[in-house]
Every structure is written in structure tokens, then in C-alpha cells.
Chains A and B, each alone.
Chain A
Amino acid sequence: EDQVTQSPEALRLQEGESSSLNCSYTVSGLRGLFWYRQDPGKGPEFLFTLYSAGEEKEKERLKATLTKKESFLHITAPKPEDSATYLCAVQARTGGFKTIFGAGTRLFVKA
């Protein structure tokens, strides 16, 4: 069964303190791994898609990387406005292209 596990559940950082979020996955044939950001009471907002091991994507202070078993979301010098829940999701090549989400990491950045 396709599965996504994210750690830690919550992460508290000081402004400027860099860190990484982890996403471990098992899927029968990975079509894509996705990172989303979700603010309280809002729908998830797409950040990145990664397709194959070794791939990296960057956007402002965020950088996503992918291996055969896990993905990392690196946050460099975070700001308070980066506080949100970050969701990892995978889409398999089979099963109708359903997208399975992890439980998320709640990030709090203090000024």
C-alpha cells in the first residue's frame, strides 16, 4: 500500500535558523513526489514536483530534494511568514493517479 510518513510532526525555529523536513515514502512506481504548503483554514498550495532520485527544486528559501526512499524540504534562513504546515504527497503510476498525502509538518518560525 502506498504510504507517506513525515517527520517531525512539529518544528519550532528561530528566524534565520535553517533546518530540514523529512518525507519517507513507499509507492508502487513513483510518478511524482509533491510538496505543498497549507496555512490554517486554507487549502494546500502547490510548491514543488520531483520526479526522480537526485532531482532538486528551489523556490526562495525552500529547496526540495529526492532520493529513492525519501525527500527533504530544506528551509534556509526562515522568516516568520514561512510558518505553515508543509505537506508531502506521492502519486503512483497506477491506481488512477490518486495522490496520497502525509500528515504534514507544522513549522513555527519565531521572530
Chain B
Amino acid sequence: KNEVEQSPQNLTAQEGEFITINCSYSVGISALHWLQQHPGGGIVSLFMLSSGKKKHGRLIATINIQEKHSSLHITASHPRDSAVYICAVDSQFYFGTGTSLTVIP
């Protein structure tokens, strides 16, 4: 069993849809990271959060420490949001397997 589980593995959405990606973890953490990996492989750090909720543009990340669960939401999705989204926890940097998102125009 992986220390970090993400769902769904693959997601296809129509442009404009509200998207949710979930992450559950089994280890104790100080912070959780949401990363975006583009087709070329480059990685961008979207959020680092240890409690509550953070918002940046159309992206919202929430975390529930007691339930060991985090969600990444994308509002008004756009084709340029197509990427792999990865959840990572700071306990020795365990990574989820990623969610491949495709947004169709």
C-alpha cells in the first residue's frame, strides 16, 4: 500500500467544469504539497499547506489533518490546465502516483 493515494488516476473534463482531485495519506506530516507536472516533465509547485485552505487564481487546495486527506479543486477548467497533478507529503517526500487531467475544449 502506498503511503500517498490519489484519485482519480485519470480524469477528462469539458472546458469550464469544476474539477476535484483527492489525496489521502497514511503518514504523519508537517505539510502537504500539490505539484503540477507538464507533458515535458517540468514540475511547478502549486501549493504547500499544513492546515485549512489556500486559493490561487482558479486553484483551491484544502487539507484535513485529522482525516489525512487533501483535495485540489480547479474552477472553470481550461485546456491549459491539462497536466499531471501530484500530491506529495513532506515525510521523506512520499509522492502520489499522480492524476492525469485532460480538459477538452
A binds B: no
